Homo-oligomer: A and B are copies of this chain.
Amino acid sequence: MGGLFGVASESDCVTDLFFGTDYHSHLGTRRGGMAVMDGGRIRRYIHDITNAQFRSKFEEDIKRLRGHCGIGCISDYEDQPLIIGSHLGVYAIVTVGVVKNAERLISQAFHKKAHLSEMSGGEINPTELVANLINQEATFADGIERALEAIEGSCSLLLLTDHGIYAGRDRLGRTPVVIGRKNGSRAVTFETCAFPNLGYEIERYLGPGEVVLVTENGVERKKAPGNRLQICGFLWVYYGYPASSYEGINVEATRYRCGAALARRDTVKVDFVAGIPDSGVAHAIGYANTAGVPYSRPYVKYTPTWPRSFMPPDQQVRDLVARMKLIPVPDLISGKRVLFAEDSIVRGTQLQDTIRRLYECGALEVHMRPACPPLVFGCKFLNFSRSRSVLDLAGRKAIKELEGRSDAHVEQYADANTDKYRAMVENIRARLQLTTLQYQRLDDLVTAIGLPKDRLCTYCWDSAE
């Protein structure tokens, strides 16, 4: 996924930029970067954060940085921020999103004799490609508009320039961009959880396709927002940080409502409710509070050294990390009927191991309640599914077992009112050896989030575009 943060301040911006960027660390595992405008020159640092945290990697750098205006990012793939010399001047740029039509855009650029130099392992840096699009116009605002229009997939971005920070939200608002204010400073963020500890209050949420210029004095609109919004619903279910809000709707509270909705549809008798840390916990709390069943923690996460929510790319390491960071508490599990709320079931591989270990610790029954419907369509708008094939999804594997091929009648399987849906769920339940399995209904999820359905992207559940 990736995240971005920017500050324009009357005083030095570095501390706010450092912590503000750091608060996006849950959104990426590969690269972190910061760029600061210092007396007309841009100073930048980029580090590999695969094996160490953003903060430890940049601790030394921030002593050498100073300036009133800066941008930072956490990136899941490429080096960022880039510093770009162009007819618009020298600027730094960070982006979040995925450029699905990169190949065509690259060939158009090369046709015009342009080059792209931020290559890594033979791959183009998509942020440089975005910069190339911006540079085709006479002003930053027109250039950003052109880039947002030209890109298929999604793209939100920040540009650090001589006159302030240009912030642009994806054309359909698939990812959030939010402005914060405090005395003498403006900040712009993906995650609003970056604001409270730095003293910012939310000033406003950019609309889809909106472009603004942020300075220490305020926010100037450069391009009005469009009408159509397609913000990713999965942000509330899984990706977003609990303390953040998108479109004014808090993540943690939404998850409580998800759990409550599950509880209201449920009749099972259990000894306690639990969530697999970290993503299932809030859903479980919502369930327990509504159902009047004790909440407990039969799995404890070893946070001191396994801090990340995201997983490393290598599957074997991912499995080892998954196993090592969760510690079962046999004393709490033995002889008990357990209900687990989860954010979602993706491939189900690690879940299988987790469930098996519960039985080994003496659990009598294990019930699972995912907070969203089965995932049956691969995302094509954001980059978080790049490393996962749609065919590995637990739902698709069930369809393959039932139909002989994984792409048969998929839309019927995605409809909770069909027999095919029920057969798919039963197939997943049996494979996971669960006592019972009940998914959230899509309408309940949409209600829990609280936006009209047509302003949410629910593509991965029902293929609606």
**Does the CB pair A197–B117 fall under 8 Å?**
no
Q: Which of A7-56 contact B (CB under 8 A)?
A: 19, 22-23, 25-26, 40-43, 51-56
User: Secondary structure at chain A's binding surface: helix, strand, loop or mixed?
Assistant: mixed
Q: Which of A321-360 contact B (CB under 8 A)?
A: 323-324, 326-332
* Contacting residue for A114 out of B53, B114, B296, B305, CB 8 A: B114
In the complex with contacts A84-B117, A242-B297, A308-B304, A327-B54 CB distance below 8 A: no
* Contacting residue for A328 out of B23, B54, B196, CB 8 A: B196
- A interface, size bucket: 35 or more
Q: Which residues of B contact A4 (CB under 8 A)?
A: none
Which stretch of A130-138, A228-236, A438-446 is in the interface?
A130-138
- Asked if A184 is at the interface (CB within 8 A of a chain B CB), the reply is no
Q: Which residues of B contact A25 (CB under 8 A)?
A: 302, 304-305
**Does the CB pair A307–B303 fall under 8 Å?**
yes
**Does the CB pair A59–B53 fall under 8 Å?**
no
Q: Which residues of B contact A296 (CB under 8 A)?
A: 256, 285, 289
Q: Which residue of B lies closest to A299 (CB)?
A: B243
Indicate the member of A43, A106, A113, A330 with the most B CB atoms within 10 Å: A113
- Asked if A313 is at the interface (CB within 8 A of a chain B CB), the reply is no
**Does the CB pair A329–B242 fall under 8 Å?**
yes
Assembly CA distance A245 to B329 (angstroms): 9
CB<8 Å pairs between A and B, sample of 11:
A40-B122, A85-B116, A90-B119, A117-B131, A193-B327, A243-B300, A250-B331, A285-B297, A292-B292, A304-B308, A306-B307
Q: Which 10 residue pairs spanning A and B have beta carbons closest together?
A: A41-B122, A87-B110, A307-B307, A83-B119, A250-B331, A85-B116, A25-B304, A243-B327, A289-B294, A86-B115
